[in-house]
Amino acid sequence: MSAIIRCENLVKSYPADTRPVSAVANVNLVVEREDFLVILGHSGSGKTTLLSLIGGLTAPDSGTVLVDGVENWQQGDQALSVMRNSRIGFIFQFASLIPTLTVMENILLPLSFSQRPAGSRDLAEEILAQVGLADKAGSLPAQLSGGQQRRIAIARAFINCPDIILADEPTGDLDEETERDILQLFRRYNKNGVTFIVVTHNSELAASQERARVLMMRQGVLTEQDGEAGVAHA
Amino acid sequence: MAKRGIEKQLNILDYALSSLWRRRTKNLSILLVFSAVIFLVASFLMVSKALSDRAGQLLVAAPEITVQRMSAGRQEAIPLAHGERLQGIFGIRRVVPRVWGYYFDEVTGANFTVLGVDPLQMPGGDGLATALARGRLPEEGEAGMVVVGQGVVETLALENRQLFSLFRPDLSLKTLTVSGEFAKETGIMTADLLLMHPAEARDLFLIAPGFATDLCISVANSREIETIARKIAELLPDCRVLTRPQIQKTYQVVFGWRSGFASICLLSAVAAFIILAWDKASGLAPEERREIAILKVLGWETADVLAVRFWEACLVSGLAFLLGMLSAFAHVLFFSAFLFRPILLGWSVLAPGLSLVPALALGDFLLLAAFTVLPYLAATVIPAWRSATVPADSALGG
Ligand SMILES: Nc1ncnc2c1ncn2[C@@H]1O[C@H](COP(=O)(O)OP(=O)(O)O)[C@@H](O)[C@H]1O
Ligand SMILES: [Mg+2]
C-alpha cells in the first residue's frame, strides 16, 4: 500500500539577523493511510513549519512532499488549492476564524463556490453538534470564549470531509474535559479512515491515543520517540 | 457546466455582498465620495451637452447677418428704410425685418418670446410649416393670428380654446387667435414662442409702423459674410452688425467648450486617482490580509479571492455610477444645474429663459466610466491579487 504522505529530505530555513534559522532540517517521513501521527516538540522546534510544508502552504528550500504520490510543488497554484481544499482539513495553532462572519459562515468557508450543496448546512450543524456548540451557529467569534472558537475552527476542518487532518496544537486552550471530547472525536474520524497529523507539546495527548504513532521534533529534526508505543514505519 | 458556472458566480456574488455589508462604514463612505465625483462630472457633462445642443440649434436658425440700431449703447428700433438702403449692396440676397421681444405674463409668471416675422420671407421659412403639429402659419393681412409653442399652450391652457389676450405696454388688451401649434419635437426652439406677422408684433409692443427690432440678412455666398458685413457697417454707421461666425465665437468664449471638456476629463481622472490612492492606502488592512491568507489555507483559489474582490468593486462602483448619474440628471433637469449657475451666468445673457434638457453623448458616458470605474476596479483587485499570490502560511504564524 502506498503512503498517503511522503516527505523526502525536507529542508526549510528562514533568514534571520545573524545566520538563517533552520526550521526543518532534512526531515524524512512516511505516513500511511489512517495513521494517527502525534508530533511532540518544544516551541520553536519547527512543528508548525513542517505542517505547512506538508499542507503545501510553504515551499521547501529543498526536498519533496508527496501526497498520494503527487509532489506538492510540481502542480500549479490552482491544483494545490484544490488539493488543500478537497483533501486536507487544517486546524490552525492560533485563532483563525474571520471575526466578521458568523460561526455558521465560518464553518462553510472551505466549501468552494462551485460546490455548495444544499445539504452543507445540515452537515455543518451536525459537526457543530459534535464539537458541542450546536447553539452557537449564529454567534460571532467575538461572542465566544477562546476554547469555543478553537472548537469552531476544528469543526470547520471537517466540513469538506477531508481524508487528512493537519492539526497544530488543537487542544492548546481547551479545558481537560473538552480536550477529551475533541480527542474522542478525532479518534472516531480516524477509525472512519481519516489520517491525522497532530502537533502538540502535550505528551499526555500522545499517550491517550492508543493507536498513535509518536514522533519527536527537536530543532528541526524529527525522530521516532524511543520506547513509546507506536507502529514502526519505514 | 454553464449552469454550474452561473451558480458559482451567484455564490461569489452572495459572498461579496455580505463581505461589503461587513465593512459597511468604509464601503458606504467610498460609495458616497465616488457618487459625488460622478455626480459633479456628469452634471457638468450634461450641462455642457445640453448647452451645446441648444447652441447648435440656435446657430442653425441664426441669420447670417443681423443688423441692430444702437443708440447710447442700447439697442433701438431700426427704421425699415435702413433695409431699403442695403438693397444696393451686391451679394445680399434678402433683407428680412424682425419685430421681437419678451413678454412677461404676470398671471402665470412665465416669459414668452414674441417673434414677428413674415414666414414667407424668412430663410428656411417654408420649413416652418413642417414644424407645426397642427394648424397653419398665419397669412398676410390676417389680423391677430399667432402660432404658439407647446410651452405656451400649457401655460395659458390653450388646449380647448383659440382666443386669448395679452397686455400692450399701455395695459390695453390685444386679442389673439391661435392658428397653429409647433410640434413638441421642436420644443427647445419653440416652446416659449409666439410667432406672428410683424404688424401684429408691432401692435403688441406698440412699436411705430415702419420700424423693426432688427434686420436679418441672408447672403448669396456665405464666404462673403464678413465683406458684406463691413460694407453694411460703413453704410449704416449707427448700427451694430453681427455675423453668424461672430455669434458662434461669442458662444465659445462664454462657455469654452473644448477647454471645459478637457478640464472635466482631467478632473475626473484626478478624482478617480484620489479614490484609488485612498483605497490603496486604507485598502488592505492587516485583518483583510489575514482573511485572504486564511481563505488560501482553506483551499480557496487565487481566482476565487479575486472574483470576490472584483464583484465587490463592481457593486460599489456600479452603484456609485448609477447614483451619481441619476442625481446629476435630476440636478440638471429639476434644479437647472443650480450648482453651476455661477459658471453659466454668461450663458443666460445670450439665451435668456434657458431650460436645460440633460443629455449625455455615448462617448462622454463611456469616457466617464473609463476614468472612474476602471481605475477603481484596478485599485481594488490589484492589491488583492498581490496578497492572494503570496504564500498562505502567514495565516498560521505564531
Ligand atoms: N515566517 C517565518 N519567518 C521567519 N522565521 C520563522 C518563520 N516561521 C517560523 N520561523 C522560525 O522557525 C523556527 C520554527 O518555528 P515553528 O515551525 O513555528 O516552530 P513550532 O511550531 O514548533 O513552535 C522558529 O525559530 C521560528 O522563529
Ligand atoms: Mg507552532
| ipTM score | 0.85
pLDDT > 70 fraction of chain B, expressed in percent and rounded: 74
Question: What is the arithmetic mean of pLDDT over B385-397?
Answer: 64
The pLDDT score that the predictor gives to residue B295 is: 85
CA of A39 to the centre of ligand 2 (A): 11
The pLDDT score that the predictor gives to residue B352 is: 40
pLDDT > 90 fraction of chain A, expressed in percent and rounded: 45
Residue B102 has pLDDT above 50, yes or no: yes
Mean pLDDT of chain B: 77
The pLDDT score that the predictor gives to residue B187 is: 59
- CB-CB under 8 Å, A99 with B287: yes
Cβ of A23 less than 6 Å from ligand 1: yes
Predicted confidence (pLDDT) per residue in A199-219, tens digit: 987 777 666 667 788 999 999
User: Which of A10, A21, A40 most suits a substitution to test ligand 1, by most atoms within 8 Å of the C-beta?
Assistant: A21
Q: What is the largest CA-CA distance in chain A?
A: 54
The pLDDT score that the predictor gives to residue B26 is: 82
Q: How confident is the model at residue B347 (pLDDT cuts 50, 70, 90)?
A: very low
Question: What is the arithmetic mean of pLDDT over A83-99?
Answer: 86
Lowest mean pLDDT among A95-104, B10-19, B41-50: B41-50
- The CA-atom distances, in angstroms, between B87 and each of B84, B95, B182, B278, B319 are 5, 8, 33, 69, 63
CA of B388 to the centre of ligand 2 (A): 23
The pLDDT score that the predictor gives to residue B260 is: 66
Residue A52 has pLDDT above 80, yes or no: yes
The pLDDT score that the predictor gives to residue B280 is: 55
The pLDDT score that the predictor gives to residue B137 is: 79
- CB-CB under 8 Å, A92 with B297: yes
Chain A touched by B295 (CB under 8 Å): yes
Residue B93 has pLDDT above 80, yes or no: yes
Atom of ligand 1 nearest to the CA of A46: 17
Chain A touched by B61 (CB under 8 Å): no
Picking from B297, B307, B397, the nearest residue to A90 by CB comes out as B297
Residue, of A8 and A75, whose pLDDT is higher: A8
Q: How confident is the model at residue A140 (pLDDT cuts 50, 70, 90)?
A: very high
For the stretch A136-142, contacts whose Cβ atoms lie closer than 8 Å and that sit 24 or more positions apart, written own/partner, are A136/A103, A137/A102, A137/A103, A137/A104, A138/A102, A138/A103, A138/A104, A139/A102, A139/A103, A140/A99, A140/A100, A140/A101, A140/A102, A140/A103, A141/A95, A141/A97, A141/A98, A141/A99, A141/A101, A141/A103, A141/A106, A142/A99
Which residue is listed with cell 419685430? B99
The pTM assigned to this predicted structure is: 0.64
Q: How confident is the model at residue A234 (pLDDT cuts 50, 70, 90)?
A: very low
Atom of ligand 1 nearest to the CA of B398: 18
Residue of minimum CA distance from atom 4 in ligand 1: A14
pLDDT > 90 fraction of chain B, expressed in percent and rounded: 5
pLDDT > 70 fraction of chain A, expressed in percent and rounded: 90
Cβ of A49 less than 6 Å from ligand 1: yes
Residue B186 has pLDDT above 70, yes or no: no
d(CA B289, CA B177): 77
Residue B124 has pLDDT above 80, yes or no: no
- CB-CB under 8 Å, B396 with A113: no
Predicted confidence (pLDDT) per residue in B299-314, tens digit: 887 788 888 888 888 8
d(CA B196, CA B202): 10
Residue A51, min C-alpha distance to chain B (Å): 10
* Domain spanning A3-95+162-224, CATH class: alpha beta
Domain boundaries defined on chain A: 3-95+162-224
Predicted confidence (pLDDT) per residue in A159-200, tens digit: 988 999 999 988 877 888 888 888 889 989 999 999 999 998
Lowest mean pLDDT among A184-193, B66-75, B349-358: B349-358
The pLDDT score that the predictor gives to residue B346 is: 43
